[in-house]
């Protein structure tokens, strides 16, 4: 069992706060994609560098906050949740493209962010700032992936689902080991999330098997959607 200090806070699905956060996030995603679609390559590059810079500063500022407030712990404070990693990965892809990382973001990151919109759980001290940061961070994950696909025209490969699923399993293995030594709960591998989610089935370790099955289903659904009608891409 973990012994974490931070109380996780859920935003009740279908509550007013849930609707406001999700609607504003959806509008922001649509606006940013349409806005950048009409811009020149040079302007798009400036935005890409801006996104990358923001992500770097976001990580550094939060790590500095944890350290100087005396609340930093290896088991809680590192950006090792799936959505944290997806956000950082997306920021890196804004700076430099990589096909494997792009496919992971599309097939696992976007689905994870969407799930976080549906069943929000804020894994840090709750206040108005962390509430806004939660929605902003997950909005950026969607923006990064859809921008690379919709605006820049990158495509996933035929075997991308195999690569992404394999990377996901390796990531779970690494974080499982890290959780063991740090007492953390990254990717909820030691304790299940507190949100009421139909994908969270049973107690430890059985719900992890459900996670893996749901992750595979998410990958295959995303794979089908992003290669629908034989979308042209890198084979």
Residue 57 has pLDDT above 80, yes or no: yes
pLDDT greater than 50 at residue 234? no
Bond from prior residue into 137 cis (ω within 30 degrees of 0): no
- The pLDDT value recorded for residue 181 is 93
User: pLDDT by residue (tens digit) across 126-160?
Assistant: 788 889 999 999 999 999 999 999 999 999 999 99
Q: What is the reported pTM?
A: 0.89
Express each pLDDT in 114-128 by its tens digit: 989 998 988 777 788
Q: Are 5 and 71 in contact (CB under 8 A)?
A: yes
DSSP state of 122: E
CA pair distance 143, 28, nearest whole angstrom: 9
Average pLDDT over every residue of 158-167: 94
Lowest mean pLDDT among 5-9, 21-25, 119-123: 5-9
Average pLDDT, the chain: 89
């Amino acid at each position: 069992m973990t012994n974490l200090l931070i109380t996780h806070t859920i935003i009740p699905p279908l509550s007013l706060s849930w609707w406001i956060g999700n609607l504003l996030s959806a509008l922001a995603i649509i606006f940013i994609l349409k806005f950048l679609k009409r811009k020149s390559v040079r302007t798009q590059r400036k935005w890409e560098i801006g996104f990358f810079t923001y992500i770097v500063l976001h990580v550094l500022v939060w790590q500095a906050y944890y350290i100087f407030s005396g609340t930093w712990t290896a088991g809680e404070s590192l950006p090792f949740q799936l959505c944290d990693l997806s956000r950082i990965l997306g920021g890196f892809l804004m700076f430099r493209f990589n096909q494997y990382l792009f496919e992971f973001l599309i097939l696992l990151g976007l689905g994870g962010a969407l799930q976080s919109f549906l069943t929000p759980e804020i894994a840090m001290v709750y206040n108005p700032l962390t509430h806004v940061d939660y929605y902003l961070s997950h909005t950026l994950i969607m923006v990064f992936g859809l921008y690379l696909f919709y605006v820049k025209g990158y495509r996933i490969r035929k075997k991308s689902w195999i690569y992404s699923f394999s990377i996901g399993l390796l990531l779970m293995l690494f974080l499982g080991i890290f959780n063991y030594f740090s007492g953390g709960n990254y990717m909820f591998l030691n304790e299940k999330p507190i949100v009421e989610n139909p994908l969270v089935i049973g107690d430890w370790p059985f719900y992890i098997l459900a996670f893996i099955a749901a992750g595979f289903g998410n990958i295959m659904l995303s794979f089908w959607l992003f290669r629908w009608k034989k979308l042209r891409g890198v084979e």
